[in-house]
Structure 1
Amino acid sequence: MHEDKLYRAALNGESDNVGELLAAGADPNQVSEGEEEGLPLCAAAAWDRVEVAEALLAAGADVNGRESGGWTALHWAATNGHADTARLLLGAGAEADAATDDGDTPLTLAARRGALGAVRALLEGGADAEKFDGDGDTPLDIAADWVGVHLESALLDQIGQEGWEYVVARQFAKDGTELVTVAGRSADGSETEQVQAQRGHAAVATLLEDASGVYSPVERLVARALAHRDTDEDAETWWVVADSLGKRADDETYEALARLCVSEDAREREFGVDAIAQFGVSEDAKPYLERTLPLLQRMATTESNPQVLRSVLSALGHQGDPRGLPQVLDIVGRPGHRRTMTDAIALADVLPPDHAEGLALLVSMTEDADDEVRDWATSGLASLAADTPEIRQALTARLDDTDLRTVAEAARGLAERGDARAARGVERVLAESDDEYARGLATEAAAKL
């Protein structure tokens, strides 16, 4: 009986109840019986109950335990697009390429759903991008078949029945792609059915092409990016494609992107800039810098579209070359320019330590009304090689900021300069913040003190 209760508690995400049942002797590997048959870990994975899954694993749940049909918890996480749970399971030893009785792997299931986050987690966890499913299709075959398909219509075709009523709902999934749900019910309300998919197939196909060594023409990839520019929450597909092209680091691709930068279409120019900004860039090399910097400097003068100009600003910062400073100052100083965190990031990235005008502007950004602008400006100021009373004073002023990430950045900058005032910021962050990034910075600053 404990086991049935444990399954239901896991399904509902009742962490405290799960803990109590496990402490009372419930077996985390016992299949529940009755109407809700299955393993507690699979139930938690199917509904993205990360905390519950952690508790079950700690209590000895078999991470590769199988339900009927050969389904494991990782299959359930993948088919429902739950990247966080997938990462947890993979870290606990889940078999990345385990097949169900029908031959489906976690990766083929995630690719079919269009679950960008889950596909990325599986690839990072060692999943085989070329392993076939039971029908002989690779994950790439599956994702590519969905690219360009009208998702709502395809889902409706899966459950469509004469006389039923249907509703389509759209929201963003955790990975930023659009989640489409089609729900139907019979005329008398006695029967219901629901199917879901994410509009991430273009990004998934791009990731899988890279993982499988499949070359896709630049034009095809650009079309994917442009088609999804306003569909994803934060242009996820756009950036997946830009990153894929940037890794190619060959002259042919570079020239294709350079042509986009002078296109009559503003969206093509925007994508061209975003992709070329990181083209061939690695930790210790920027082989296209001497071609990219003049291109961006020219665009800073000729570009009139605000969104493209913001991409140019970001790209100038990404080059990290002080020769781009005049153009950065020009763009952020134009009448009507709306300040964002991109201003602070770009300015800090190209600012030499002895440039008074640029330093004064960056300091002013640390006092901006917008939390993100202050945070990034403070981070940039903290990272400068220079150490002056003006910089220390500006950082000290941020120790009382309402945004604790900004406080953490300021404390880091002061600690790196051997300034004992950093301790006040460290104490605030560790006492008041539960943000892992901020606490990590504070811990780093404390160690340097």
Structure 2
Amino acid sequence: MSEEQLYRAALTGDIETVGKLLAGGLDPDSPYEGQEEGGLALCAAASRDRTEAAEALLAGGADVNGREGGGWTALLWAAANGHADVAKVLIEAGAEVDATNDVGDTPLTLAASRGAPGVVQVLLEAGANHEKYDGDGDTPLEVALGWAGVHLESALLDQIEQDGWEYVVARQYAKDGTELITVAGRSADGEQSEQVEAQRGHAAVATLLEDAAGVYTPVEQLVARALAHRDVDEDAETWWIVADSLGKRADDETYEALARLCVSEDAREREFGVDTIAQFGFADGDKPYLDRTLPLLQKMVTTEGSPQVLRSVLAALGHQGDPRALPQVLDILGRPGHKRTSTDPIALADVLPPDDEEGLALLISMTEDDSSEIRDWATAGLAGLTADTPRIREALAARLTDSDLRTVAEATRGLADRGDERAARGAERVLADSDDEYARE
């Protein structure tokens, strides 16, 4: 009975019950025999993304590489269900990143099949072998590419479809921002049911695995992936994974292809071209394409008619980090009807020279904005300036009483870097009142 309680508590994330059972001496690796082939509590927690429960079980001595029937480990369950957070916890605890189950699935092939770029990134960063085949003889990349070209809802329905059953399709966002598709079915009498899930992240996964394998994919093919997912992912995750992949190439052929996108008749192509070319070839502070990119972006400030593309141009000018872009940044920020976002203070701070009073005044005004997000980024930008003047110090000190503790933390950092004793007040407040890890750090 205790094994069942532990298993179900791990499955639901009931930390209190998990803690009590472990404190009472229950072996965290005792299988729950009521589950087919014996269920391990750590595997249950991993399958449902119960990160705190997994941490408690590991702290209580659970074997991170313990196996359920079929050879399933907790990491295999996390990968199969697209749970990056718990996968990271398991890997940090020593999980074998290339472990296989009895049919040869690896964490990477399972995450690739799921279409979960968040898990794939975690696994690749941990050194997972991107060349290891699954039981069908497919690499993770082959698995991802096989799914990338299919209609996901139809493919999932094909897996469980039976005559006379009723089906529903649900769509929501997974934690990594890709769309999560769930197809559920039940028999007419309601006695039987089945459900399958996958994420619409296979194009992003394929891009990550191509980079890992050193596979060169034509620019046009990658652009098509990005454009197809621009409005599908929650925060354009596939778009940015593809942009990052192209940005790392640092070759003239790719640069010219992106430059052509920047003058395309299609606004979405221009937007992607700008977003990608913004950090093209950047490495260790080196910006080999700066003198080609900066004039291109400066010209677009004059010619661009799409507000969305112009927003990307503003961010890209900031990424150049060159004071020569300041007039164009100020031009965009000062236009009638311009809607202020966090991009504004970031871009302005990145190109602001130490002696420009107009730009400094605008940045300080942003530290007083009604939006806490804009105040936070503006204060961070102000704190990071190389200049140290009474005006900057007073503007930072004014944010020590801000209602947003991240903003207080940024102001504290800026004052501390300048040797201002008022930083101690901000540090005391953040440490006393904030549980935000970033702010406390």
TM-score by length of 1: 0.97
Higher mean alpha-carbon deviation, 123-132 vs 32-41, is at 32-41
Q: Which runs of 5+ in 1 are unaligned?
A: 441-449
Residue of structure 1 in register with 2:62 after alignment: 61
Match of residue 405 from structure 2: 404
Task: Map 1:7-156; keep pairs closer than 5 Å.
Answer: 7-35=7-35, 37-156=38-157
RMSD: 0.8
Residue 201 of structure 2 corresponds to which residue in structure 1?
Answer: 200
TM-superposed deviation, 1:162: 1.3
Q: 2:326, 2:393 → 1: CA distance?
A: 23
The one-character-per-residue Cα deviations of 1:194-253 (angstroms, maximum 9, x if unpaired) are 100000000000000000111100000000000000000100000000000001100000
* Aligned position for 1:6: 6
Please give the alpha-carbon distance, in whole angstroms, between the structure 2 residues aligned to 1:383 and 1:7. Answer: 49
How far apart in 2 are the matches of 1:241 and 1:384? 31
Moved more, 122-131 or 238-247: 122-131
User: d(CA) in 2 for partners of 1:4 and 1:366?
Assistant: 54
Aligned 1:286-435 pairs, distance under 5 A? 286-435=287-436
- Amino-acid identity (%): 77
- State the match for 1:447 in structure 2: none
1:215 aligns with 2:250: no
Larger mean CA deviation between 410-419 and 317-326 belongs to: 410-419
Hey, what's the Cα distance between the residues in 2 that align with 1:331 and 1:65?
A: 57
Q: Distance in 2 between matches of 1:140 and 1:384?
A: 43
Tell me which amino acid in the other structure corresponds to 1:235. A
- SS class of match (2:150): coil
* Alpha-carbon distance in 2 for matches of 1:381, 1:433: 22
Q: Secondary structure at the match of 2:182?
A: strand
Task: Report how far residue 393 of structure 1 moved.
Answer: 1.1
CA–CA distance in structure 2, aligned partners of residues 259 and 423 of structure 1: 51
Q: Distance in 2 between matches of 1:7 and 1:145?
A: 35
Correspondences of 1:177-196 after superposition (within 5 Å)? 177-196=178-197
Residue identity matched to 2:25: G
Distance 1:200 1:35 in 2: 31
Cα distance in 1 between the residues matched to 2:148 and 2:3: 42
Deviation, 1:35, is: 4.1
Measured in 2, the distance between the counterparts of 1:329 and 1:370 equals 20
Q: CA deviation at 1:129?
A: 0.7
Deviation track 1:272-328 (CA, whole Å, cap 9, x = no partner) reads 000000101012200110110010001111101000000000000000000000000
SS in structure 2 at match of 1:132: coil
Q: Secondary structure at the match of 2:163?
A: coil
CA–CA distance in structure 2, aligned partners of residues 148 and 324 of structure 1: 41
| C-alpha separation in 2, matches of 1:215 and 1:385 | 40
Match of 2:280?
279
| Cα distance in 2 for residues equivalent to 1:56 and 1:379 | 39
Partner secondary structure for residue 182 of structure 1? strand
* Structure 2: distance between partners of 1:164 and 1:132: 35
Distance in 2 of aligned mates of 1:289 and 1:418: 34
2: CA distance between counterparts of 1:126 and 1:39?
26
Is the deviation greater in 147-156 or in 28-37?
28-37
User: 1:137 is paired with a residue of what secondary structure?
Assistant: coil
Residue type at the aligned position of 1:436: E
Q: Give the letter for the 2:197 counterpart.
A: Q
SS, match of residue 352 in structure 1: coil
For these two proteins, the number of residue pairs brought into alignment is 440
| Gapped regions of structure 2 (runs ≥ 5) | none
Q: C-alpha separation between the residues in 2 aligned to 1:43 and 1:147?
A: 29
Q: Once the 2 structures are TM-superposed, how far is the Cα of residue 12 of structure 1 from its aligned partner?
A: 1.5
Distance 2:63 2:114 in 1: 26
Q: What secondary structure sits across from 2:70 in the alignment? A: helix
- For 1:367-413, what per-residue CA distance to the aligned partner results, in whole angstroms no more than 9, with x for missing partners? 11111111111001011111111111111111111111001001111
Distance in 1 between residues matched to 2:397 and 2:136, nearest whole Å: 63
SS class of match (2:171): strand
Q: CA deviation at 1:148?
A: 2.7
Q: Partners of 2:437 and 2:203 in 1: how far apart?
A: 32
- The one-letter amino acid of 1:203's match is A
Instruction: Tell me the SS of whatever aligns to 1:336.
Output: coil
Matched residue of 1:171: which SS?
strand
For residues 126 and 2 of structure 2, the distance between their equivalents in structure 1, rounded to whole angstroms, comes to 33
Matched residue of 2:58: which SS? helix
Alpha-carbon distance in structure 2 between the residues aligned to 1:294 and 1:320:
13
> Partner of 1:298: helix, strand, or coil?
helix
- Partners in 2 of 1:404 and 1:156 — Cα distance? 47
C-alpha distance in 2, partners of 1:293/1:196? 44
